Amino acid sequence: MAIEQIKMPQLGESVTEGTISKWLVSVGDTVNKYDPLAEVMTDKVNAEVPSSFSGKIVELIASEGETLEVGAVICTIEIEGQDRTPQETITKNQTEENVQESEVSAPNKARYSPAVLKLSAEHAIDLTQVSGSGAGGRITRKDLLAIIESGVVPTPQPKAEAIPTAPARNPVETAAPAQIDVPVSTGDIEIPVSGVRKAIAANMLRSKHEAPHAWTMVEVDVTNLVAYRNSIKSEFKTKEGFNLTFFAFFVKAVAQSLKEFPQMNSMWAGDKIIQKKDINISIAVATEDALYVPVIKHADEKTIKGIAREITELASKVRAGKLSSADMQGGTFTVNNTGSFGSVQSMGIINYPQAAILQVESIVKRPVVMDGNMIAVRDMVNLCLSLDHRVLDGLVCGRFLKRVKDILEATTKENTSIY
């Protein structure tokens, strides 16, 4: 008999921690190798953690709702025999010995993930004065984001004799933001914050805190586009088996414009800006209690039909709970269909670390002045762009939006193919 550990996997290249959203097994259960053990949620994806062994569950170390760093032990399994080869066992033991030695020689650094060290360095946070909320008191990125948001950043303390007398702070300024005193009355409903909601909150907070947001908008006359799509949508659905939505036309126009204005397809990387070669469009898909952002890869190389198919398939995966980590990775620019809810103007939060997000609002009929002296009812839509002003300036954003507008207004049956 042997006891083996199952650890928190890395579900993405930039993922440093995950939250156990639901255990799929209990202590005493017998599992086979590759059977799912738990559902894990990160700021990028929900996924199942498979068993690396066949055996019996001995202990569930992590609790549901608990956030742990990648590599932390989440449960243990009792197995009969060894699934590893002798060489694998030797390598594993040597690795564990090396880790133990490094923890003894540097006990403090062993507690900090690369994301925590990066944030602490950027904001001059003294980690020795921070209490961690992770497993075993580990300090997580969320702990530091809460401190940064509070505005009370712990810095290295001088010696006692060098501390000058200072006026007392207002209690509001020093209060920890983790616990907020909200009055609760009879009939109020307290809803626990789910793991996915915590991840969304952390990612949105990081985006707003780190990226200086700016905002701009253009209105587009899509009368010809609406007429073209409406004239072929029934035939298309019968032939292809899925809907031809207006959104597919907008995504295609954005992808084409990104190819012509590659600065928009960039990311901030501290001492440099990374201009991405591939044009991978992230699209926002909402469920009843969460928001997911799957990616249409190489959107500039796809037809309107191909984009429409991917939108349908990705949305179906989200709503069926089958979205994979690969479906969420690699996005370079986000397009959000806020118009599906009837919105006509909105300011999106950038999908970090991308440099911009475009909100496609609702298509509405409005009176428009035509040819200088005529008023006509036209199908109009607002395109609202939020941008990271470290990466992008108004000039390139204005030209980019104008190009998207020109493409959409020129979309007709005569000069636009969906295939």
3-class SS string, 323-371: CCHHHHCCCCEEEECHHHHCCCCCCCCCCCCECEEEEECCCEEEEEEEC
Q: 388 catalytic, yes or no?
A: no
Q: What is the largest CA-CA distance in the chain?
A: 88
Region for 187 from its dihedrals, namely left if φ exceeds 0, alpha if ψ lies in -120 to 50, beta otherwise = left
**Alpha carbons within 13 A on the beta-carbon side of 234:** 3
Catalytic residue among 209, 278, 289, 389: 389
Report the interhelical angle of 114-122 vs 141-150 (nearest 10°).
Answer: 20
Q: 213 catalytic, yes or no?
A: no
Strands (DSSP E) found in 17-95: 17-23, 30-31, 36-41, 46-50, 55-60, 67-69, 73-79
Rounded-to-integer distance, Cα 110 and Cα 138, Å: 9
Tell me if 120 sits within 8 A of 144, measured CB to CB. Answer: yes
Query: Alpha-carbon dihedral of residues 164, 165, 167, 172, nearest 10 degrees?
Result: 70
- Report DSSP state, residue 108: T
Strand 295-296 with 285-286, pairing: unpaired
With H, G, I as helix, E, B as strand and everything else as coil, classify residue 338. helix
With H, G, I as helix, E, B as strand and everything else as coil, classify residue 95. helix
Catalytic residue among 278, 289, 393, 406: 393
Tokens representing 152?
Answer: 């009370």
Catalytic residues: 389, 393
